[in-house]
Amino acid sequence: MSGVSRKSVGIVDVEFGDGVTIVEPCNLYGCAIGDGVFVGPFVEIQKDVVIGARTRVQSHAFICEKTTIGEDCFIGHGVMFINDRFATGGPARGNRALWQETAIGDSVSIGSNATILPVSICAGVVIGAGAVVTKSITEPGIYAGNPARKLRAIG
C-alpha cells in the first residue's frame, strides 16, 4: 500500500444522549446526539454538529460541520447538507472561514435526496423529496422544488 493514506473514522468523540440508536456502518465524529435519536447506516455526521432529541436521520445522509438540527425532526434518505457556497468561485479547500452555518428548527421533516445549503429553517416545515433549499425559510409550510419554494401552509 505504498503511497496510500488510509483513515478510519467510525464513531469517535461523540456526545450521546440516552436511548440513542446507531446503525453501523457510519461515520460520527466530534458531534452531539440528543436523547432518543436514530441514525441509520451509511450516515456521516461531522464535528461540531448538534442533533436534537428524538430526531431521526435516515441512511446515506451527510450532515456537515456548522449544522444544528432541532428536536423531533426527520432527515430522509440521502439528504445532503452543504456548508460551502463556493464564495470564491470554487471550493473553499479547507478554508473553514468561508464555510457557513445551517440551523434547522424543531419538527422539521426533510424528504429524501434534498440538498440544504447554509440556511435557517424555522420550526414546522416540510421539505419535499429532491428539493434544493437555497434561501432561509421563516414561515412554516410545505416547500419543494429547485430552488425550493412554498407550496402551501400546513394545517
Find where cell 400546513 sits.
Answer: 154
pLDDT (tens digit per residue) in 127-146: 999 999 999 999 999 999 99
The predicted model gives 77-100 an average pLDDT of: 90
**DSSP assignments along the chain, one per residue:** -TT------SEES-EE-TT-EEPSS-EEES-EE-TT-EE-TT-EE-TT-EE-TT-EE-TT-EE-TTEEE-TT-EE-TT-EE-----TTSS--TT-GGG---EEE-TT-EE-TT-EE-S-EE-SSEEE-TT-EE-S-B-S-EEEETTTTEEEE---
At residue 89 the predicted structure's pLDDT band, cuts being 50, 70 and 90, is confident
Reply yes or no on whether the pLDDT at 1 is more than 70. no
What are the pLDDT digits (tens) for 30-62? 999 999 999 999 999 999 999 999 999 999 999
Cα–Cα dist 123/70, whole Å: 8
90-106 pLDDT, tens per residue? 888 878 888 999 999 99
pLDDT in tens, 7-26: 777 999 999 999 999 999 99
Give all domains of the chain, ordered by start, each with its CATH number.
Answer: 11-85+100-152 (2.160.10.10)
Is cis: bond before 25, omega within 30 of 0? Answer: yes
Q: Which three cell numbers stand for residue 131?
A: 428539493
